[in-house]
């Protein structure tokens, strides 16, 4: 092809994925898919709180027992989340720059509110995740959680969750954040397929429905834990809070 273009093109697959608009879309979709996988798995893990203290503490101990593998998984997830967030911010800045003068009379034809607020829902969820890690994983906000043990001498994450969600403020912030995450996914899940080229007019509606179903299921799964604690359906082993 004798092209008149003298532009330098990316020379490797990583360069294609990080330097071009289409490549960045594909990478955003792939890292989004990994993040979605984690969000789903984490929900399934969380729901074990409802089964009982023994089940949940056993699950937590199993995860901790992974040792080095746990850190490999954490590193992989952190990398995927990091790339997803970095690309999201970068793309947003480029998109703002692409229309320096705004319309005086702007209208929206069919873009959903979720699709137009991805950067904001995303950034709020990031700030929540940072708090969530400081709260339950690193326990900077509540160092006393580390002293909780169950009758078998294991770290009592079940009681930690119950104590954590006994605060209406924390539960409310959690529900809001999870709600925004699911709203983010109501666009993200369908968008992911389009960005990877897996879409057609026939599938577009179905993907939209699938994305909303995924969002609703995830919200129900995540909301179940704090709601159960607040309704006292799940409580400390001694029964007192």
In the list 124, 196, 210, 227, the residue contacting other proteins (rule: CB under 8 A) is 196
Candidate segments 9-17, 52-60, 175-183, 229-237, binder of other proteins by CB under 8 A: 9-17
Residue 209 within binding range of other proteins, rule CB under 8 A = no
Residue 18 within binding range of other proteins, rule CB under 8 A = no
Residue 199 within binding range of other proteins, rule CB under 8 A = yes
In the list 74, 79, 116, 205, the residue contacting other proteins (rule: CB under 8 A) is 116
Residue 231 within binding range of other proteins, rule CB under 8 A = no
Question: What's the rounded Cα separation, in Å, for the pair 25 and 18?
Answer: 9
CB of 175 to other proteins, least distance (A): 27
Residue 158 within binding range of other proteins, rule CB under 8 A = no
Q: Is the dihedral of CA 230, 232, 238, 241 positive or negative?
A: positive
Question: What is the phi-psi region of residue 197: left when phi exceeds 0, alpha when psi lies from -120 to 50, beta otherwise?
Answer: left
The CA–CA distances, whole Å, from 98 to 91, 120, 152, 162 equal: 10, 19, 60, 48
Burial bucket for residue 226 (CB in 10 Å: 0-12, 13-18, 19+): buried
In the list 68, 98, 169, 231, the residue contacting other proteins (rule: CB under 8 A) is 98
The CA–CA distances, whole Å, from 182 to 2, 134, 220 equal: 48, 22, 10
Q: How far apart are the first and last CA of the chain?
A: 73
**Between vectors from CA 157 to CA 153 and to CA 158, what angle results, nearest 5°?**
100
Number of Cβ atoms within 10 Å of the Cβ of 217: 13
What number of chain residues touch other proteins (CB under 8 A)?
Answer: 51
Residue 102 within binding range of other proteins, rule CB under 8 A = yes
Residue 177 within binding range of other proteins, rule CB under 8 A = no
Residue 25 within binding range of other proteins, rule CB under 8 A = yes
Burial bucket for residue 118 (CB in 10 Å: 0-12, 13-18, 19+): middle
CB of 78 to other proteins, least distance (A): 24
CB of 120 to other proteins, least distance (A): 13
In the list 68, 97, 138, 231, the residue contacting other proteins (rule: CB under 8 A) is 97
Contact residues for other proteins, defined by CB under 8 A = 1-5, 7, 9-10, 13, 16-17, 20-26, 91, 94-95, 97-111, 115-116, 118, 187, 190-191, 194-201, 204
């Amino acid at each position: 092809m004798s092209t008149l273009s003298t532009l330098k093109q990316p020379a490797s697959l990583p360069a294609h994925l990080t330097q071009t608009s289409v490549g960045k879309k594909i990478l955003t979709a792939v890292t989004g898919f990994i993040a979605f996988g984690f969000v789903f798995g984490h929900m399934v893990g969380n729901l074990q709180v409802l089964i009982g203290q023994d089940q949940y503490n056993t699950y937590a101990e199993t995860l901790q027992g992974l040792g080095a593998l746990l850190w490999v998984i954490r590193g992989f997830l952190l990398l995927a989340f990091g790339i997803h967030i970095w690309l999201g911010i970068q793309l947003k800045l480029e998109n703002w720059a692409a229309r320096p003068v705004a319309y005086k009379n702007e209208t929206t034809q069919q873009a959903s509110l979720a699709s137009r607020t991805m950067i904001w829902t995303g950034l709020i969820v990031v700030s929540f995740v940072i708090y969530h890690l400081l709260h339950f994983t690193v326990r900077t906000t509540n160092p006393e959680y580390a002293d909780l043990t169950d009758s078998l001498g294991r770290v009592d994450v079940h009681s930690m969750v119950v104590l954590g969600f006994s605060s209406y403020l924390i539960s409310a912030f959690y529900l809001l954040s999870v709600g925004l995450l699911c709203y983010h996914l109501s666009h993200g899940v369908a968008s992911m397929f389009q960005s990877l080229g897996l879409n057609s007019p026939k599938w577009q509606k179905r993907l939209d429905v699938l994305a909303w179903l995924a969002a609703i299921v995830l919200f129900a799964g995540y909301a179940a834990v704090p709601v159960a604690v607040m309704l006292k359906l799940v409580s400390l082993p001694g029964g007192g809070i």
